[in-house]
Amino acid sequence: MNRKELINKIQEIHSMLCVGLDTDINRIPQFLKDNYDDPIFEFNKRIIEHTKDKCVAYKFNIAFYESMGPKGWVSLERSLAIIPDDIFTIADAKRGDIGNTSKLYARTFFETYNFDSITVSPYMGSDSLEPFYGYDDKWVIILGLTSNKGSQDFQMQKLQDGREVYKKVIERCVDFGDQTNTMFVVGATQADYIKEVRSIIPDHFLLMPGIGKQGGDLKSSLEFGLNEDYGLLINSSRGIIYSDSSAQFDKSAGLSAQKLNDSIRDHVSF
Protein backbone atom coordinates (compact mmCIF):
# COMPACT_ATOMS: atom_id res chain seq x y z
CA MET A 1 0.00 0.00 0.00
CA ASN A 2 1.44 3.38 -0.95
CA ARG A 3 1.17 6.62 1.01
CA LYS A 4 -1.66 8.06 -1.06
CA GLU A 5 -3.76 4.91 -0.63
CA LEU A 6 -3.22 4.99 3.13
CA ILE A 7 -4.22 8.64 3.37
CA ASN A 8 -7.29 7.98 1.21
CA LYS A 9 -8.33 5.15 3.51
CA ILE A 10 -8.02 7.42 6.55
CA GLN A 11 -10.19 10.04 4.87
CA GLU A 12 -12.70 7.50 3.59
CA ILE A 13 -13.62 5.99 6.96
CA HIS A 14 -12.59 8.87 9.23
CA SER A 15 -10.23 6.73 11.25
CA MET A 16 -6.54 6.48 12.10
CA LEU A 17 -7.04 3.37 14.19
CA CYS A 18 -4.67 0.41 14.05
CA VAL A 19 -5.90 -2.73 15.81
CA GLY A 20 -3.14 -4.81 17.33
CA LEU A 21 -3.70 -8.55 16.90
CA ASP A 22 -1.39 -9.49 19.77
CA THR A 23 -3.26 -12.73 20.21
CA ASP A 24 -2.18 -14.68 23.28
CA ILE A 25 -3.37 -18.30 23.43
CA ASN A 26 -3.58 -17.95 27.22
CA ARG A 27 -6.01 -15.01 27.04
CA ILE A 28 -8.51 -16.01 24.40
CA PRO A 29 -11.89 -17.44 25.51
CA GLN A 30 -11.80 -21.09 26.53
CA PHE A 31 -14.65 -22.09 24.22
CA LEU A 32 -12.47 -21.30 21.21
CA LYS A 33 -9.75 -23.63 22.46
CA ASP A 34 -12.30 -26.35 23.18
CA ASN A 35 -14.10 -26.24 19.83
CA TYR A 36 -11.65 -25.16 17.11
CA ASP A 37 -8.51 -26.73 15.69
CA ASP A 38 -7.02 -23.28 15.16
CA PRO A 39 -8.37 -21.13 18.01
CA ILE A 40 -5.93 -18.29 17.32
CA PHE A 41 -7.25 -17.90 13.80
CA GLU A 42 -10.86 -18.18 14.95
CA PHE A 43 -10.28 -15.45 17.54
CA ASN A 44 -8.61 -13.19 14.97
CA LYS A 45 -11.31 -13.87 12.38
CA ARG A 46 -14.03 -12.74 14.74
CA ILE A 47 -12.08 -9.66 15.83
CA ILE A 48 -11.46 -8.73 12.18
CA GLU A 49 -15.12 -9.21 11.27
CA HIS A 50 -16.18 -6.73 13.95
CA THR A 51 -13.43 -4.13 13.50
CA LYS A 52 -12.55 -4.05 9.79
CA ASP A 53 -14.94 -1.19 9.09
CA LYS A 54 -13.49 0.85 11.96
CA CYS A 55 -9.74 0.68 11.37
CA VAL A 56 -7.19 1.45 8.67
CA ALA A 57 -4.53 -1.01 9.85
CA TYR A 58 -3.87 -4.26 11.66
CA LYS A 59 -0.62 -4.91 13.53
CA PHE A 60 0.48 -8.47 14.23
CA ASN A 61 2.99 -8.80 17.04
CA ILE A 62 4.96 -11.69 15.58
CA ALA A 63 6.14 -13.01 18.96
CA PHE A 64 2.66 -14.30 19.79
CA TYR A 65 2.67 -16.42 16.63
CA GLU A 66 6.25 -17.65 16.32
CA SER A 67 6.25 -18.72 19.99
CA MET A 68 3.75 -21.42 19.01
CA GLY A 69 6.00 -22.98 16.40
CA PRO A 70 4.72 -24.06 12.96
CA LYS A 71 1.04 -23.89 13.92
CA GLY A 72 1.50 -20.28 14.99
CA TRP A 73 2.82 -19.34 11.56
CA VAL A 74 -0.19 -21.09 10.01
CA SER A 75 -2.52 -19.04 12.20
CA LEU A 76 -0.69 -15.89 11.17
CA GLU A 77 -0.92 -16.69 7.46
CA ARG A 78 -4.62 -17.58 7.66
CA SER A 79 -5.39 -14.41 9.61
CA LEU A 80 -3.47 -12.22 7.20
CA ALA A 81 -5.33 -13.73 4.24
CA ILE A 82 -8.75 -12.53 5.44
CA ILE A 83 -7.80 -8.89 5.98
CA PRO A 84 -9.30 -6.70 3.23
CA ASP A 85 -6.79 -5.50 0.64
CA ASP A 86 -7.42 -1.83 1.44
CA ILE A 87 -6.36 -2.19 5.09
CA PHE A 88 -2.69 -1.62 5.94
CA THR A 89 -0.86 -4.55 7.54
CA ILE A 90 2.08 -4.37 9.94
CA ALA A 91 4.44 -7.18 10.88
CA ASP A 92 5.52 -6.04 14.32
CA ALA A 93 8.66 -8.14 14.23
CA LYS A 94 11.29 -5.61 15.38
CA ARG A 95 13.94 -7.20 13.19
CA GLY A 96 17.39 -5.80 12.46
CA ASP A 97 20.62 -7.73 11.83
CA ILE A 98 23.58 -7.80 9.46
CA GLY A 99 22.73 -7.30 5.80
CA ASN A 100 22.47 -10.94 4.75
CA THR A 101 20.11 -11.72 7.60
CA SER A 102 18.02 -8.59 7.18
CA LYS A 103 17.59 -9.45 3.50
CA LEU A 104 16.01 -12.75 4.54
CA TYR A 105 13.82 -11.08 7.16
CA ALA A 106 12.62 -8.71 4.46
CA ARG A 107 11.88 -11.62 2.16
CA THR A 108 9.97 -13.40 4.93
CA PHE A 109 7.58 -10.57 5.70
CA PHE A 110 7.36 -8.80 2.33
CA GLU A 111 7.34 -11.81 0.00
CA THR A 112 6.35 -14.95 1.90
CA TYR A 113 3.68 -13.20 3.98
CA ASN A 114 3.14 -10.05 1.89
CA PHE A 115 2.81 -7.58 4.76
CA ASP A 116 2.68 -3.91 3.85
CA SER A 117 5.25 -3.03 6.50
CA ILE A 118 7.61 -4.30 9.16
CA THR A 119 8.93 -2.78 12.38
CA VAL A 120 12.71 -2.75 12.64
CA SER A 121 15.32 -1.93 15.23
CA PRO A 122 17.95 0.56 13.99
CA TYR A 123 20.56 -0.35 16.62
CA MET A 124 22.92 -2.12 14.20
CA GLY A 125 22.93 0.76 11.73
CA SER A 126 22.53 1.35 8.02
CA ASP A 127 23.48 -2.06 6.62
CA SER A 128 20.88 -3.71 8.85
CA LEU A 129 18.10 -1.46 7.51
CA GLU A 130 18.90 -1.03 3.83
CA PRO A 131 17.71 -4.53 2.74
CA PHE A 132 14.18 -3.65 3.83
CA TYR A 133 14.07 -0.78 1.34
CA GLY A 134 14.27 -2.89 -1.81
CA TYR A 135 10.50 -3.25 -2.25
CA ASP A 136 7.92 -1.03 -3.95
CA ASP A 137 4.99 0.13 -1.81
CA LYS A 138 6.41 -1.50 1.31
CA TRP A 139 7.13 0.42 4.49
CA VAL A 140 9.92 0.29 7.05
CA ILE A 141 8.72 1.27 10.52
CA ILE A 142 11.71 2.23 12.64
CA LEU A 143 11.72 2.17 16.43
CA GLY A 144 12.12 5.84 17.30
CA LEU A 145 10.93 6.54 20.83
CA THR A 146 9.15 3.59 22.36
CA SER A 147 6.37 3.48 24.96
CA ASN A 148 7.99 1.11 27.45
CA LYS A 149 9.65 2.22 30.71
CA GLY A 150 12.98 0.85 29.54
CA SER A 151 13.17 3.53 26.85
CA GLN A 152 14.86 5.60 29.55
CA ASP A 153 17.83 3.22 29.62
CA PHE A 154 19.22 4.16 26.20
CA GLN A 155 16.85 6.21 24.06
CA MET A 156 16.63 9.11 26.50
CA GLN A 157 20.33 9.24 27.35
CA LYS A 158 22.10 12.39 26.22
CA LEU A 159 25.04 12.56 23.85
CA GLN A 160 27.96 14.96 24.23
CA ASP A 161 26.15 17.58 22.15
CA GLY A 162 23.18 17.49 24.53
CA ARG A 163 20.79 15.66 22.21
CA GLU A 164 19.03 12.52 23.33
CA VAL A 165 19.97 9.29 21.57
CA TYR A 166 16.50 8.90 20.06
CA LYS A 167 16.87 12.22 18.23
CA LYS A 168 20.17 11.12 16.72
CA VAL A 169 18.58 7.84 15.63
CA ILE A 170 15.64 9.55 13.93
CA GLU A 171 17.83 12.18 12.25
CA ARG A 172 20.10 9.48 10.85
CA CYS A 173 17.33 7.14 9.76
CA VAL A 174 15.53 9.70 7.61
CA ASP A 175 18.44 9.34 5.19
CA PHE A 176 17.56 5.71 4.45
CA GLY A 177 14.11 6.40 2.99
CA ASP A 178 11.51 9.15 2.90
CA GLN A 179 7.94 9.86 3.96
CA THR A 180 6.63 7.50 1.26
CA ASN A 181 8.24 4.37 2.70
CA THR A 182 9.37 5.13 6.26
CA MET A 183 7.43 5.47 9.50
CA PHE A 184 8.64 5.76 13.06
CA VAL A 185 7.33 4.17 16.22
CA VAL A 186 6.71 6.89 18.79
CA GLY A 187 4.88 5.84 21.93
CA ALA A 188 1.83 7.74 23.10
CA THR A 189 3.25 7.48 26.62
CA GLN A 190 5.96 9.90 25.46
CA ALA A 191 3.55 12.78 24.81
CA ASP A 192 6.00 15.40 26.12
CA TYR A 193 8.44 14.47 23.36
CA ILE A 194 6.11 14.05 20.40
CA LYS A 195 6.37 17.74 19.55
CA GLU A 196 10.16 17.43 19.42
CA VAL A 197 9.89 14.36 17.19
CA ARG A 198 7.63 16.30 14.83
CA SER A 199 10.23 19.07 14.59
CA ILE A 200 12.65 16.49 13.13
CA ILE A 201 10.20 14.56 10.92
CA PRO A 202 7.21 16.83 10.18
CA ASP A 203 5.98 14.81 7.18
CA HIS A 204 6.46 11.18 8.20
CA PHE A 205 3.79 8.87 9.54
CA LEU A 206 4.12 7.80 13.17
CA LEU A 207 2.92 4.45 14.47
CA MET A 208 1.78 5.29 17.97
CA PRO A 209 1.28 2.49 20.51
CA GLY A 210 0.54 3.08 24.16
CA ILE A 211 -3.05 4.34 24.04
CA GLY A 212 -5.30 2.43 26.42
CA LYS A 213 -3.76 -0.14 28.76
CA GLN A 214 -0.34 1.57 28.75
CA GLY A 215 -1.85 4.91 29.74
CA GLY A 216 -0.91 7.07 26.78
CA ASP A 217 -2.70 10.41 26.49
CA LEU A 218 -4.75 10.51 23.29
CA LYS A 219 -5.47 14.24 23.29
CA SER A 220 -1.81 15.26 23.63
CA SER A 221 -0.68 12.63 21.15
CA LEU A 222 -3.08 14.02 18.54
CA GLU A 223 -2.31 17.63 19.36
CA PHE A 224 1.42 17.23 18.83
CA GLY A 225 1.49 14.30 16.40
CA LEU A 226 -0.92 15.26 13.63
CA ASN A 227 0.35 16.75 10.37
CA GLU A 228 -1.25 17.85 7.09
CA ASP A 229 -1.75 14.25 5.96
CA TYR A 230 -2.92 13.08 9.40
CA GLY A 231 0.40 11.30 9.81
CA LEU A 232 -0.63 8.98 12.64
CA LEU A 233 -1.64 5.38 13.11
CA ILE A 234 -3.06 5.10 16.62
CA ASN A 235 -2.58 1.55 17.81
CA SER A 236 -4.62 -0.23 20.44
CA SER A 237 -4.17 -3.93 21.11
CA ARG A 238 -5.22 -5.24 24.52
CA GLY A 239 -7.73 -2.43 25.04
CA ILE A 240 -9.70 -3.69 22.04
CA ILE A 241 -9.16 -7.40 21.58
CA TYR A 242 -9.36 -8.24 25.30
CA SER A 243 -12.10 -5.80 26.24
CA ASP A 244 -14.34 -8.79 27.05
CA SER A 245 -13.53 -12.44 27.76
CA SER A 246 -17.04 -13.78 27.22
CA ALA A 247 -18.54 -15.36 24.11
CA GLN A 248 -19.38 -11.81 23.03
CA PHE A 249 -15.73 -10.78 22.93
CA ASP A 250 -15.88 -9.93 19.23
CA LYS A 251 -18.84 -7.58 19.57
CA SER A 252 -17.17 -5.94 22.55
CA ALA A 253 -14.01 -5.47 20.49
CA GLY A 254 -16.05 -3.71 17.82
CA LEU A 255 -17.62 -1.43 20.41
CA SER A 256 -14.22 -0.64 21.93
CA ALA A 257 -12.78 0.17 18.52
CA GLN A 258 -15.73 2.45 17.81
CA LYS A 259 -15.33 4.18 21.18
CA LEU A 260 -11.67 4.92 20.48
CA ASN A 261 -12.56 6.17 17.01
CA ASP A 262 -15.15 8.48 18.53
CA SER A 263 -12.52 9.84 20.91
CA ILE A 264 -10.15 10.47 18.01
CA ARG A 265 -12.88 12.24 16.04
CA ASP A 266 -13.50 14.57 18.99
CA HIS A 267 -10.08 16.07 18.26
CA VAL A 268 -9.62 15.55 14.50
CA SER A 269 -11.44 17.03 11.51
CA PHE A 270 -11.48 14.50 8.66
DSSP letter for 215, please.
-
The CATH class, in words, for 3-263 is alpha beta
| Residue 127: other Cβ atoms inside 10 A | 12
Residue in 133, 121, 209, 146 with CA at minimum distance from that of residue 178: 133
pTM recorded for the entire structure = 0.95
Q: How many CB atoms lie within 10 A of CB 55?
A: 26
| Domain ranges, ordered by start, for the chain | 3-263
Q: Give the per-residue pLDDT at 82.
A: 98
The answer to whether the beta carbons of residues 139 and 183 sit under 8 Å apart is yes
Hey, which residues are catalytic here? Answer: 94
**Cα gap 9→54, rounded to integer Å:** 11
> What is the C-alpha separation between 94 and 133, in angstroms, rounded?
15
Ordered per-residue pLDDT tens for the chain, 270 residues: 999 999 999 999 999 999 999 999 999 999 999 999 999 999 999 999 999 999 999 999 999 999 999 999 999 999 999 999 999 999 999 999 988 999 999 999 999 999 999 999 999 999 999 999 989 999 999 999 887 777 777 877 888 888 888 899 999 999 999 999 999 999 877 777 898 999 999 999 999 987 765 556 888 899 999 999 999 999 999 999 999 989 999 999 999 999 999 999 999 988
